[in-house]
Amino acid sequence: MPEIKVTPLGAGQDVGRSCILVSIAGKNVMLDCGMHMGYNDDRRFPDFSYITQNGRLTDFLDCVIISHFHLDHCGALPYFSEMVGYDGPIYMTHPTKAICPILLEDYRKITVDKKGETNFFTSQMIKDCMKKVVAVHLHQTVQVDEELEIKAYYAGHVLGAAMFQIKVGCESVVYTGDYNMTPDRHLGAAWIDKCRPDLLITESTYATTIRDSKRCRERDFLKKVHETVERGGKVLIPVFALGRAQELCILLETFWERMNLKAPIYFSTGLTEKANHYYKLFITWTNQKIRKTFVQRNMFEFKHIKAFDRAFADNPGPMVVFATPGMLHAGQSLQIFRKWAGNEKNMVIMPGYCVQGTVGHKILSGQRKLEMEGRQIVSLSQFAHGIQGKVAPDSQHLCSPPLLLQLEVKMQVEYMSFSAHADAKGIMQLIRQAEPRNVLLVHGEAKKMEFLKQKIEQEFHVNCYMPANGETTTIFTNPSIPVDISLGLLKRETAIGLLPDAKKPKLMHGTLIMKDNSFRLVSPEQALKELGLAEHQLRFTCRVHIQDPRKEHETVLRVYNHLKGVLKDYSVQHLPDGSITVESILIQATAHSEDQGTKVLLVSWTYQDEELGSYLTSLLKKGLPQSSS
């Protein structure tokens, strides 16, 4: 039985290091190639030795697909392609291809330059790796080879995020990557057609959460910023360079425009600036509003938001600053935070999750007095610009004994969560849209998956799997095999019955020719002609003994009358030569050579009339009715 095998190398019952191997109809595809935020050792990259111990990966993989540019989905790519060795095609969308190298480079810088790691991929490797990338458009069907084809669907989440359909013949798998089913200020909602894949591999980060409407959060956020600015206070919003930063920028920009506000908004230079540039370019990947209005004005050409300069932090008067990194553990955001923390008019808004031990986490948990190590902050000032997610501050990295500073936080601390993953409802909605035959959960915690799995099985009556890393799940498929039918045969057969109905199977007669890996259904005559075979007629003959002392022709007459009476719908004929035909079945009677009282009925029919022939024989075997005559 044909099967699809799925093995997560990462992201199996876990978040981070997404890497899933799929074997479908003899093709091997790797979905995503990410790094893990939580580890700094070998475990940060997927274990590619699972694929092959020795030899190039190219021989074992038909293609690699990257869903979006977050490092936990593409961070291991240069390592995989350049250091382990892979020369096959890598597929990603255009925005991902544009932004991915920037993030990889940033990641490399932090790991190598700041942490001083060796044996890490180099800038050149990133470049070489990107040369292997083939960019795809939304809804474009790409033929990887003759049988394997892939197609990208819009996924929301971040700019350029896509879901991929992988299809071989009529077996297919959909991999969602990360996706968002509710639109936000700069991206639309994920969408997929009713493609009915054999397997849907979906993320399940928020498997046990149903989120509230985004509007309330947005409104709260805007209200808080607005109030602080009106009071003359300064607002600090620590963000990571890509994704949420742009959403918040758009949110504030439109709000400023709407409310005619004048206070300046700044975002930190560097990565964010570069990223905004790409957002400007890929307008088609954004939401309806931005797409519709960009003819008048590209929304990412911010009117109110300007690049930040270090000196601006001391300017008097209200302002809003977006600064990296997002957890206040280092860099510009921390510097600004230190400057502004003392004034109760100011405010810091944390737009995302903070890892324990960071300043962000401390202030969010209500700590009002912080001890800061002066030197360390300076030395790490450029650290961790753009890594998404959980980066633990590196406390080993010290140049000189720390100088402890007491910092009293008087400014207001607010928390606003803006997440771009689908919640439980969203996941269910996507499953409903795609109508898969099986579902497989990745990119989530095991306990939460368990709940969702149970729900999916209960509501959709499909099988749901949640393999751990390295665990292989096998799914048996029941692929339909396409057969070409000759038009003549089809017309002939449809002419007999009613109209064909798409939902009902239909019986037809024909000859199946399997030749050169293709199937064709043709009429028998054509098959014979094509194969150069002479037509053979297959005839069944059967002798039936009847006890009848009468003359032969009388017996024949009796049989004739009997059959005529029973088979009313058929044409039964008595031929002059003493034989009977029922349709094309011939019946002849002869006297038994030894016993004259026994008549032998010779019934002969062709293969095509098998049904009627065997019925007739069984009828005759029962004997003739005792007639009065």
Partner 1 sequence: CSAHLRWELPQWQHEDLSTKKLRLTKPSKSAALHVDLCKATSPADALQYLLQFARKPVEVESVEGVVRILLEHYYKENDASVRLKIASLLGLLSKTAGFSPDCIMDDAINTLQNEKSHQVLAQLLDTLLVIGTKLTENPSVRMRLVEVACKHLTDSSHGVRNKCLQLIGCLGPVEKGVAKEAESQAAKDVQKIIGDHFNDQDPRVRTAAIKAMLQLHERGLKLQQAIYGQACKLLADDYEQVRSAAVQLIWVLSQLYPESIVPIPSSNEEIRLVDDAFGKICHMVSDGSWVVRVQAAKLLGSMQQVSSHFLEQTLDKKLMSDLRRKRTAHERAKELYSSGEFSSGRKWGDDAPKEEIDTGAVNLIESGACGAFVHGLEDEMYEVRIAAVEALCMLAQSSPSFAEKCLDFLVDMFNDEIEEVRLQSIHTMRKISNNITLREDQLDTVLAVLEDSSRDIREALHELLCCTNVSTKEGIHLALVELLKNLTKYPTDRESIWKCLKFLGSRHPTLVLPLVPELLSTHPFFDTPEPDMDDPAYIAVLVLIFNAAKSCPTMPALFSDHTFRHYAYLRDSLSHLVPPLRLPGRKLVSSPVSPSITPHEDPSQQFLHQSLERVYNLQHLDPQGIQELLEFTIRDLQRLGELQSELAGMADFTATYLQCQLLLIKALQEKLWNVAAPLYLKQNALASAAAKQILEETYKMEFMYSGVESRQVVIIHHMRLQAKALQLIVTARTTRGVEPLFGMCEKFLQEVDSFQRCFISELPQMQGSFVDKLLDLMPRLVTSKPSEVVKILQTTLRQSTFLHLPLPEQLHRASANIIEPTGESDNPLRFTSGLVVALDVDATLEHVQDPQGTVKVQVLYPDGQAQLIHPKPADFRNPGPGRHRLITQVYLSHTAWTEPCQIEVRLLLAYNSNRSKAAAKIAKSTWNESPEALPQPENGIEGTIPFSKPVKVYIMPKPARR
- Quick one: which segment of 10-18, 95-103, 187-195, 231-239 binds partner 1 (CB under 8 A)? 187-195
Question: Which residues, 6 or more positions from 132, have their beta carbon under 8 angstroms from its beta carbon?
Answer: 81, 86, 87, 88, 89, 90
Is residue 352 a contact residue for partner 1 (CB under 8 A)? no
Q: With contact defined as beta carbons under 8 Å apart, do 473 and 440 qualify?
A: yes
Nearest-angstrom CA–CA distance, 542 and 499: 39
What does the alpha-carbon distance between residue 58 and residue 54 come to, in Å, rounded to a whole number? Answer: 11
Q: How far is the CB of 543 from partner 1 (least distance, A)?
A: 47
Nearer to partner 1 (CB atom), residue 454 or residue 541? 454
Residue 208 or 588 having the CB closest to partner 1: 208
Instruction: Give the integer Cα–Cα distance in Å for 67 and 218.
Output: 27
Bridge partner residues of 148 (DSSP): 168
The pair of structure tokens assigned to 328 is 């206040």
Among 213, 478, 537, 593, binds partner 1 (CB under 8 A): 213
Q: Give the three-state DSSP class for 269.
A: coil
One of 42, 212, 535, 569 touching partner 1 (CB under 8 A): 212
Binding segment (CB under 8 A) for partner 1, from list 428-436, 477-485, 580-588, 617-625: 428-436
Q: Is 365 exposed, middle or buried (0-12, 13-18, 19+ CB in 10 A)?
A: exposed
Identify the CA nearest to 34 among candidates 1, 90, 75.
75
Q: Which stretch binds partner 1 (CB under 8 A): 35-43, 158-166, 281-289, 602-610?
A: 281-289
Strand order in the sheet with 347-350: 305-307, 265-267, 319-323, 234-238, 347-350, 412-415
Task: Out of 134, 170, 210, 399, name the contact with partner 1 by CB under 8 A.
Answer: 210
Nearer to partner 1, 217 or 545 (CB): 217
Measured from the Cβ of residue 462, the count of other Cβ atoms closer than 10 Å reads 15
Return the residues of window 398-427 that contact partner 1 according to CB under 8 A. Answer: 412-416, 424-425
CA–CA distance, 622 with 31 (Å, rounded to integer): 68
For residues 195 and 433, give the distance between their C-alpha atoms in angstroms, rounded to a whole number.
8
Q: Does the bond joining 393 to the residue before it have cis omega, within 30 degrees of 0? A: no
Between CA 413 and CA 365 the distance in angstroms is 10
- How many C-beta atoms lie closer than 10 Å to residue 345's C-beta? 14
CB 265 within 8 A of CB 306: yes
Of 52, 58, 123, 208, the residue at the interface with partner 1 (CB under 8 A) is: 208
Residues 214-243 touching partner 1, rule: CB under 8 A, are 214-220, 222-224, 226
Q: How far is the CB of 169 from partner 1 (least distance, A)?
A: 20
Cα 324 to chain centroid distance, Å, stands at: 32
Is 254 a binding residue for partner 1 by CB under 8 A? The answer is yes
Shortest Cβ 425–partner 1 spacing (Å): 6
Of the two residues 289 and 564, which places its CB atom closer to partner 1 in the complex?
A: 289
Cβ proximity of 359 and 396 under 8 Å = no
Contacting partner 1 (CB under 8 A), which of 123, 433, 511, 598? 433
Could you tell me the smallest distance in angstroms from the CB atom of residue 241 to partner 1? 23
Please identify which residue in the block is written with the tokens 């498929």.
Answer: 477
Q: What residues numbered 91-150 form the site for partner 1, per CB under 8 A?
A: none
> One-letter amino acid identity for 231?
R
Q: Under the criterion CB under 8 A, does residue 288 sit at the interface with partner 1?
A: yes
- Both structure tokens of 18: 């997404």
Site for partner 1 in 443-482 (CB under 8 A): 448, 451, 454-455, 459-460
Task: List active site positions.
Answer: 203
Q: How far is the CB of 289 from partner 1 (least distance, A)?
A: 5
Smallest separation (angstroms) from partner 1 to the CB of 472: 28
Residue closer to partner 1 (CB basis): 191 or 615: 191
Selected binder of partner 1 within 193, 457, 530, 595 (CB under 8 A): 193
Of residues 90 and 320, the one with the C-beta less far from partner 1: 320
In the complex, minimum distance from the CB of residue 418 to partner 1, in angstroms, rounded to a whole number = 13
Q: How far is the CB of 209 from partner 1 (least distance, A)?
A: 5
Contact with partner 1 (CB under 8 A) among 249, 252, 428, 601 = 428
Question: Which of 36, 185, 234, 362 is close enough to bind partner 1 by CB under 8 A?
Answer: 185
Burial (0-12, 13-18, 19+ Cβ within 10 Å), 454: exposed
Q: In this chain, which of 47, 105, 149, 257 binds partner 1, going by CB under 8 A?
A: 257
Cβ neighbours for 252, distance < 8 A, ≥ 6 positions apart:
222, 225, 265, 304, 305, 320
- Of 211, 282, 298, 215, which Cα lies nearest the Cα of 250? 298
Nearer to partner 1, 89 or 160 (CB): 160
- Identify which of residues 186 and 385 has a Cβ nearer to partner 1 in the complex: 186
Taking Cα atoms as reference points, which of 323, 263, 282 lies closest to residue 138?
282
Which distant-in-sequence residues (6+ apart) come within 8 Å of 610 by Cβ?
540
Subset of 490-509 contacting partner 1 (CB under 8 A): 494, 499-503
- Which window, 30-38, 91-99, 206-214, 381-389, contacts partner 1 (CB under 8 A)? 206-214
Stretch that binds partner 1, among 26-34, 97-105, 128-136, 209-217 (CB under 8 A): 209-217
Q: What is the DSSP letter of 88?
A: S
Instruction: Single out the segment in contact with partner 1 by CB under 8 A; choices: 45-53, 81-89, 144-152, 359-367.
Output: 359-367
SS (H, E, C) 584-602: CEEEEEEECCCCCCEEEEE
What DSSP character marks residue 423?
B
CB of 375 to partner 1, least distance (A): 29
Tell me if residue 223 falls in helix, strand or coil. Answer: helix
Q: How far is the CB of 355 from partner 1 (least distance, A)?
A: 14
Q: Residue 194 CB, nearest distance to partner 1 (Å)?
A: 5
Name the residue nearer to partner 1 (CB basis): 14 or 414.
414
Distance CA 352, CA 239 (A): 8
* Site residue total, partner 1 (CB under 8 A): 61
For residue 255, what is the enclosing H or E element? helix 244-259
Q: Which is nearer to partner 1, 447 or 529 (CB)?
A: 447
Q: Which is nearer to partner 1, 116 or 366 (CB)?
A: 366
The sign of the dihedral angle between the CA atoms of 604, 609, 614, 619 is negative
Site residues (CB under 8 A) for partner 1? Answer: 182-183, 185, 188-189, 191-194, 208-220, 222-224, 226, 254, 257-260, 287-289, 350, 364-366, 412-416, 424-425, 428-429, 432-433, 448, 451, 454-455, 459-460, 494, 499-503
